[in-house]
Structure 1
Amino acid sequence: MNELREQAQQLEESLIALRRELHRFPELSFQEFRTASRVTEELQKLGLEVQSGIGGHGVVAELRGRYPGPAIAFRADMDALPITEETGLDYASERAGVMHACGHDIHTTVLLGAAMLLAKRREELHGTVRFLFQSAEEILAGAKAMIQEGAMEGIAEVYGVHNLPSLPAGKIGVKPGVVMGSIDRIEIRVEGRGGHGGYPEACIDPIVAASAVIMGLQSAISREIPPTTGAVVTIGTIQAGTANNIIPDFVEMTGTVRHLDAEWRKTMPERITRIVGDICRAYRCEGTVTYIEQVAPVINDESCAEYLAEVADSLVGRHNRTLPLPMTYGEDFAEFLAFAKGGFYWLGSGPQEQAELAPGLHSPRFNPDESCITLGAAMFAGIALKRLAGDGSGLR
């Protein structure tokens, strides 16, 4: 794998330039026109079979090895976030209010780098590599859209990556089992009876009831669910009222529910509906809950995680591979794992010192170490060379 790492290093200057171009022109979910066009252009230069417009602006490309064999897929996401960049970089976003604050420009460049590496070594491949460049990960819609248009047909294994600024560049995080939690959305409406703020006794105050609901959800989760399941309920928006001296008729809230345990996750709709209803009734209000399941946990196949670990060790050494704890981030990469076994790894993108203090994902000051790009490209290429080897050790 040393040769592969060296080949990746030779691409570093051009890959960083490409990443910075993508960073300057970020695009929101299902609006990745320019990004997809640029990706398609680079893939066509390599002589790959390319399809665009898959599941929105998704791009699917195939690299067929010299010999027949199974197909594996690699996935990168392309969309940005509605965040105003505050990095001060000379290649900062040129689009007001939009930023690659989650590093999807890194992921896209990593996968393009892997395609460049493998295009030069197709003679070694016994099978096919499918590259999936996905729209709309941030709204958890792009993976499902690509799958519905056949992006996973015939795939035996699928692999994905996410950069991690709390892990120093040069390190890889791999673990079997649960990598990231499920994500669900809750919409809560608390209805009371409005009136003058000076006469609350003549009203039924939904704001007081909503406050109790927020606190009650936190207490109930900590008392009813084992802490090892990683359950998290966060209320992110509250909308109520029109003036400081008016008690409104209703309060509307939205939130997120995260879980590391698929079985306990199944209990959440009933549990949250019960808690909201009981608390609202205690305050003479009516509470309703809309519970929307969005994406399942990301769960690495044991064997695929082992393959990732072996490639990581060969590229950076065992001392630079970590076994991260499960995280309550969420990823619609889980949709791909519903169709094929696979693995997801963390690519360190933080500084060498005090990476845990670096601006994190979704921060307006997020600024990953670009040296991670070539390592990520080598990781994907290494997996392809390992799993599509012709020596009997790969997929059959």
Structure 2
Amino acid sequence: MINNILENIDKYNTWFINNRRELHKIPELDFDLPETTKYITSILTELGVNYKTNIGKSGIIANFYGKDNSITIALRADIDALPILETSDCPYKSQHEGKMHACGHDVHCSILLGVAKILSEIKDDLPCNVRLIFQPAEETTGGALPMIEDGALEGVDAIFGIHVDPFINSGEIGIKYGPMFAASTTFKINILGKSTHGAFPHNGIDAIVTASQVISSIQSIISRNTDARDSAVITFGTINGGTKENIVADEVSLTGIIRTLSQEMRTFIKERVKDMSEFVCKGYGAKAEVLFKDSYNALINHEEYVDIVKKSGIELLGKEKIITRKYSEMGAEDFAYYLEKVPGAFFFLGIRNEDIGAIEPLHNDKFMVDESSIIVGIKMQILNIFNAYEHLKASK
């Protein structure tokens, strides 16, 4: 049966691509997505799909009901864009100046709309319930948690998500067992010294000199306090202080970000950054105020569901088209929060095609995708539904 379903998907390829192009024209940011959500709901209404709006502020969930109501499998797509001015000349380029789908969320959304179309046609043969999650604000403050708080995962047994990858060829997918994306934490260190005339530095406490030692000391946390086999990054992004060339600065502000692949490492590095800042400053007679703001948690795939994605990929594309990543990405992705609540997997969809110039990295003003990848993503998610259902049925 599944082979017949997959074969019948091809005839809608133009429809899938058109959806992506229409979405690409109307990029919107964060939770403010009126045109995007209007387009999504218009398609769902056209297909006769049951859906709810304003989930997690501006998200949408669509529900399909299968033969076995005891199992529900969810698929998620993020739908927001980036504050980037698109410089490509494609006929469907952004109509919203300064905004662009430069991370492929228009592809993710069109894949989920494609899945909705196929499920609406095979509803009598659907083995279980399926929930489609259209999520806002992945690029900014994070839309996953608000959607979860509004019940997007209620009754869900497993979940799958896709992200386009411009470093994987179209027609291939990428998988990663275990940690896939990093947790991120921003920090701010205020170093408080004492101002004085530059001719008499002994009368003051130099916040700039102290800051230089704090920066050097904190960099040693990675090289000397963490296991070389565990990935972590500390980056200083800004340094601000001082008022005039002949005045010893009384205050310097440092900001940066910490990225780790586990909550344990995140906690450890935060403690070391705080201790290092405070004790180095004390040694120079200064004081340190250290502030942290946790962002997304680490995205950790569930291995048995990565196996399911791999199985689906081999069935659809062949074993040679499955790229198994050895290393984790140190970027962040809020699909992590879904995987903390229910088992599942996140995987990469290849969109690279040098012949058409689809070679630019994510978040680039010339970012382009090979649109033949859209149908691959749709078929992968359809296969994931059927294969995950068999796994869940067997384990109950």
Q: Does the alignment reach a TM-score above 0.5?
A: yes
How far off is 1:365 after superposition? 2.5
Task: Name the CA distance, whole Å, in 2 between partners of 1:174 and 1:291.
Answer: 32
**What residue number does 2:347 align with?**
345
1:395–1:239: structure 2 CA closer, same or farther, 3 Å change rule? Answer: farther
Larger deviation, residues 308-317 vs 247-256: 247-256
- The letter of the residue matching 1:77 is D
Percent sequence identity is 35
**What residue number does 2:14 align with?**
13
**What residue number does 2:365 align with?**
364
- The letter of the residue matching 1:262 is Q
- The letter of the residue matching 2:274 is T
**What residue number does 2:300 align with?**
299
- The letter of the residue matching 2:54 is G
**What residue number does 2:176 align with?**
175
1:202–1:374: structure 2 CA closer, same or farther, 3 Å change rule? Answer: farther
1:121–1:282: structure 2 CA closer, same or farther, 3 Å change rule? Answer: same
SS at structure 2 position matched to 1:337: helix
Task: Name the CA distance, whole Å, in 2 between partners of 1:80 and 1:248.
Answer: 41
Larger deviation, residues 212-221 vs 167-176: 212-221
Unmatched runs of 5 consecutive residues or more in structure 1:
none
- Asked whether the 8 Å contact 2:305–2:388 carries over to 1, the reply is no
**What residue number does 2:71 align with?**
70
- Asked whether the 8 Å contact 1:23–1:93 carries over to 2, the reply is yes
How far off is 1:18 after superposition? 1.8
**What residue number does 2:138 align with?**
137
- Asked whether the 8 Å contact 1:172–1:320 carries over to 2, the reply is yes
Task: Name the CA distance, whole Å, in 2 between partners of 1:104 and 1:218.
Answer: 35
**What residue number does 2:376 align with?**
375
How many residues end up aligned between the 2 structures? Answer: 394
1:394–1:126: structure 2 CA closer, same or farther, 3 Å change rule? Answer: farther
The alignment's TM-score, normalised by the length of structure 2, stands at 0.91
1:362–1:394: structure 2 CA closer, same or farther, 3 Å change rule? Answer: farther
1:101–1:195: structure 2 CA closer, same or farther, 3 Å change rule? Answer: farther
**What residue number does 1:29 align with?**
30
How far off is 1:351 after superposition? 2.2
> Deviations 1:153-176 (Å, cap 9, x if unpaired)?
110001111111111111101122
Task: Name the CA distance, whole Å, in 1 between partners of 2:392 and 2:363.
Answer: 43
SS at structure 1 position matched to 2:348: strand
> Deviations 1:172-199 (Å, cap 9, x if unpaired)?
0112211112122222222223456676
The alignment's TM-score, normalised by the length of structure 1, stands at 0.91
Task: Note the aligned Cα RMSD (angstroms).
Answer: 2.6
Matched ranges for 1:207-246 at <5 A: 207-241=208-242
SS at structure 2 position matched to 1:216: helix
**What residue number does 1:315 align with?**
316
- Asked whether the 8 Å contact 1:176–1:302 carries over to 2, the reply is yes
How far off is 1:202 after superposition? 5.0
1:314–1:244: structure 2 CA closer, same or farther, 3 Å change rule? Answer: farther
**What residue number does 2:105 align with?**
104
1:215–1:2: structure 2 CA closer, same or farther, 3 Å change rule? Answer: farther
- Asked whether the 8 Å contact 1:63–1:128 carries over to 2, the reply is yes
- Asked whether the 8 Å contact 1:125–1:388 carries over to 2, the reply is no
